[in-house]
Amino acid sequence: MLLSRTIPTPPTLAGTAQSRRRRARHTVATLAALATLTACEGEADLTGPGSLGREPALNEVVTTAPLNASSNDTLVYFSFATGGLVPRSTDWDLALRRFEVRLASPATGASKTVLGFTLANNQNATAPQVLAFTPANTLAAFDALRDAQVPADSLFVTDRLADNPQGHIVLGGVPVANAGQFWKIRLANGQFAVFRNAAIGFNRTRATDSVVFESRLQTGTALGAVQRLVVVPGTTTRAISLSTNSVVTPNGCNWDFQFNPDPTRLAITVNTACNVGTNPGGASPTFAAVTVANDAPQYVPFLSQLLGPIPNSILDPRAPFRYDLTGQQRLHPAFNTYFAKVGTRVWKFQLIDYYSATGAAGFPTIRYARIR
């Protein structure tokens, strides 16, 4: 059987630790390990298991088979109503890619809006406690969540694009370029491109000394080679044209975005008068590997970031998975619970495994139930 109804087991007190976790360390070693993990795990064909084929009864707990979300660059789509993967063009609720979970919304390319809430029930659990969690010993606590525990409607949010004018840098100490993040951008002349801040430097007085922007213009259906532009702003806001790869004197639609070098700002703003808009690229494919820029579901009039109720970082203790708890560069389910509001229905769900029956990575298993 590809899906099964889960039989409750006795309750446990798992996930009630009171110890305070330190914030996850964003170290170079960790990021390098993550890159290695992704590279080694590889990809598989985007095929999924069969589905339940019906909407579960109220409070019926269902566990899927491992869902093939192993591609590094392609999302797959899950429907609570059917209990399986469905085409993007049909009615879907969750989008999955490896350890990422997105909600259906205009920001993720859906024609409807699913609202979500993170219960964060295990965010304070220690590494040994997380390692001790199993689908069986966490089931009773999951099953006990019913309609009475559904949060107020005002606490539900969806995935959305928000303004983040400093998203191109990493703050905390001396700012550095957030070179791992890039944006798809609709230019003032109607073209499309991707760009990022590749480097930023400061002089001894902490004034912005230089910024290196990298971009790739789309011609036809393909992105071109990387072009670099070194901007020496001094104390003056600089306007940049990606179509000409140059700093320009702003005049109508001859520029795409501006960089403000004020050390209290370091902000990027876009030429909204000329319909410039951005959409954040994901962790994969990378800036160098992405192939098109005109396929984003939305282009918004600011430097954007995708926000949602479900953290898509394995360094966030509220996220579905924790990373490398045993020194083996593996993901471990945290058994955090999430609520999803789809119209008048409310679902609860957890991701309870990351590996297929043969040990292949990127095959999350979802445990879910309708509670309203």
Q: What is the pLDDT of residue 39?
A: 35
Provide the residue range defining the domain that includes 279.
162-306
Domain boundary among 306, 333, 350: 306
Residues 155 and 202 occupy one common structural domain: no
Residues 299 and 315 occupy one common structural domain: no
Domain boundary among 258, 284, 306: 306
Residues 135 and 62 occupy one common structural domain: yes
Residues 150 and 219 occupy one common structural domain: no
Q: What is the pLDDT of residue 28?
A: 35
Residues 172 and 250 occupy one common structural domain: yes
145 to each of 140, 336, 366, how far by Cα in Å? 9, 12, 16
Number of domains in the chain: 2
Residues 56 and 179 occupy one common structural domain: no
Cα angle value 267/269/270 (rounded, 5°) = 155
8 A C-beta contact, residue 270 and residue 302: yes
Q: What is the pLDDT of residue 51?
A: 64
Residues 185 and 124 occupy one common structural domain: no
Cα angle value 160/28/229 (rounded, 5°) = 65
Residues 52 and 24 occupy one common structural domain: yes
Residues 316 and 241 occupy one common structural domain: no
Residues of the chain with pLDDT under 70: 1-51
Domain boundary among 286, 306, 326: 306
Residues 172 and 253 occupy one common structural domain: yes
259 - beta bridge partners? 238, 268
The predicted model scores a pTM of 0.77
Residues 282 and 352 occupy one common structural domain: no
Residues 155 and 11 occupy one common structural domain: yes
Which residues 6+ apart lie within 8 Å of 1 measured at CB?
Answer: none
